[in-house]
C-alpha cells in the first residue's frame, strides 16, 4: 500500500533529489514516487529540524540526496 503525504525528517532545508526509487518502471514497479525530488519545509520531524512530505511507494525503497 502506498503512503501519500508521509513526513520524513531531514537535517536541513532545500531541495532533496530522489536518486533511487525501487518502484520505478525500470525495476518492474508501478511508477509511484516523488517526481524526482521534494523540498524540505522547516517542520521538525523524527528529531530533525526540517521535513520532506513524500510518497512512499509500496514494497519499495526511495533514496534522497540533499
- CATH number where 37 lies: 2.60.40.1180
- Residue range 1-37, pLDDT digits in tens: 999 999 999 999 999 999 999 999 999 999 999 999 9
Domain that holds residue 58: 3-65
The count of structural domains within the chain is 1
Cα 21 → chain centroid: 9
- pTM for this prediction: 0.89
Looking up cell 532545500, which residue turns up? 14
Amino acid at each position: 500500500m502506498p503512503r501519500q503525504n508521509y513526513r520524513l525528517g531531514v537535517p536541513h532545508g532545500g531541495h532533496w533529489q530522489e536518486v533511487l526509487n525501487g518502484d520505478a518502471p525500470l525495476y518492474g514497479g508501478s511508477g509511484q514516487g516523488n517526481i524526482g525530488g521534494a523540498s524540505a519545509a522547516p517542520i521538525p520531524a523524527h528529531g530533525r529540524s526540517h521535513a520532506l512530505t513524500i510518497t512512499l511507494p509500496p514494497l519499495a525503497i526511495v533514496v534522497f540526496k540533499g
